[in-house]
C-alpha cells in the first residue's frame, strides 16, 4: 500500500516567513498519523490536503511548546467537524497533564473520546497494516523518536505455484500448515513464498545523534532527522542538545537508510545551501525539507 509523507512544518523553535512549526503527517490507507503538532499545524493541513478528521493518532516527541501548541486548535477543529472516532495522543511518560490542559482549558465542547497515553520505548500503537514504536532521544527534556513500520507481507511465486498445481484456497492451506501435497508431490511454503519487508519511516527531532536512533533507523526507507545547525555551529548544537546536518548525515550513512530528510531548521538559516553541502559530504541522498515537501514511499 502507498505510504505518503508530508512535511507540514519544518522550522525549529521559531517560525519564519517560509517555515511553520514542527509537524509531519504520514498517510497510510485511510489513516493519518501526526508526528508533533506545532502551532499552525491545522492550517498547514488545509494548505497541503490533509483531512483533520482522518487523524487517528498524534505522536509527540517532547513537551516543548513548538511541538505541542497546535494540539489545542486542531482538536477543536475536529470537534467542529463532528468527529466521532477516538483520538489517541502519545507523549513521553509523565507528561500527560500538560496535554490534558490544552484540551480542557477553555471548556470547549469536544464530543469525541481523546485518550492521552504515556510513552516508553517499544511498540506504542497498532493500526491496520502498520505499527508505531518509540525510542529514546537525547534532548534537554524527556524526548522520544518514532518508527512507522508497515507490516511485512508474504508474497507467493504464483507462476511456480500454478505450475506445481497450487491454486485458489490451497494458498491459504499452504500458509497455515507450511506444506501440502499436490500431484503426488510435497510442496512447502518456503519454496513458494517470500517475505516482502514493510516500509519503515523514522522520525527523530530535537536530539543529539544517538545510538538509539542508529538502531531504530537501520535499513530504513526514510529517516527524518532534525538539523538545527551547520558544521560551524557544532558547539552550539552540543550545548542545546540538537544536531548538525553533518551529524544527521553521518548517522544516516551508518544506519544504511535509503533517504535522509532534514527538518527542524533554525531560523538563522534562510538558505539551505550550507546545510545541504554539510550533509552531502557524508550522505548524498539528502533533502533539506521545506513546508509542504511530500514524497511517496
User: What Rg do the C-alpha atoms of the chain give, in angstroms?
Assistant: 22
Rounded to an integer, what distance in angstroms lies between the CA atom of residue 207 and that of residue 194? 37
Extract the C-alpha cell encoding 217: 533507523
Catalytic residue among 36, 66, 206, 278: 66
DSSP 54: G
Element (H, E) at 74: helix 70-80
Q: How would you classify residue 268: left for phi > 0, otherwise alpha for psi between -120 and 50, otherwise beta?
A: alpha
Q: DSSP string covering 225-275, please? A: EE--B-GGGHHHHHHHT--BHHHHHHHHHHHT-S-EEEE-EETT---SHHH
Active site residue 66: yes
Catalytic machinery residues: 66
Amino acid at each position: 500500500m502507498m505510504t505518503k509523507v508530508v512535511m507540514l512544518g519544518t522550522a525549529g523553535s521559531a517560525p519564519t516567513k517560509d517555515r511553520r512549526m514542527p509537524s509531519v503527517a504520514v498517510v497510510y490507507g485511510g489513516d493519518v498519523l501526526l508526528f508533533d503538532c506545532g502551532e499552525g499545524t491545522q492550517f498547514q493541513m488545509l494548505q497541503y490536503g490533509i483531512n483533520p478528521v482522518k487523524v487517528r493518532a498524534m505522536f509527540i516527541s517532547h513537551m516543548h511548546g513548538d511541538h505541542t501548541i497546535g494540539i489545542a486548535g486542531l482538536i477543536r477543529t475536529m470537534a467542529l467537524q463532528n468527529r466521532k472516532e477516538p483520538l489517541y495522543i502519545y507523549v513521553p511518560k509523565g507528561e500527560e497533564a500538560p496535554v490534558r490542559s490544552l484540551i480542557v482549558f477553555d471548556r470547549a465542547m469536544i464530543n469525541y473520546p481523546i485518550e492521552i497515553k504515556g510513552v516508553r520505548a517499544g511498540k506504542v500503537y497498532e493500526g491496520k497494516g502498520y505499527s508505531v514504536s518509540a525510542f529514546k532521544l537525547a534532548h534537554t527534556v524527556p524526548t522520544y523518536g518514532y518508527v512507522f513500520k508497515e507490516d511485512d507481507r508474504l508474497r507467493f511465486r504464483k507462476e511456480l505455484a500454478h505450475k506445481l498445481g497450487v491454486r485458489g484456497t490451497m494458498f491459504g492451506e499452504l500458509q497455515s500448515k507450511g506444506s501440502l501435497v499436490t500431484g503426488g508431490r510435497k510442496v512447502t511454503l518456503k519454496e513458494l513464498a517470500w517475505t516482502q519487508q514493510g516500509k519503515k519511516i523514522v522520525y527523530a527531532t530535537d536530539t543529539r545523534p544517538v545510538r538509539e536512533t542508529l538502531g531504530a533507523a537501520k535499513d530504513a526507507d526514510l529517516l527524518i532527522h532534525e538539523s538545527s545547525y551547520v558544521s560551524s555551529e557544532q558547539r552550539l548544537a552540543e550545548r542545546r542538545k540538537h544536531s548538525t546536518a553533518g551529524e544527521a548525515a553521518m548517522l544516516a550513512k551508518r544506519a544504511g537508510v535509503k533517504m535522509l530528510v532534514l527538518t527542524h531548521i533554525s531560523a538563522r538559516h534562510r538558505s539551505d545551501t550550507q546545510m545541504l553541502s554539510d550533509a552531502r559530504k557524508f550522505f548524498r541522498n539528502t533533502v533539506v525539507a521545506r513546508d509542504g515537501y511530500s514524497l511517496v514511499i
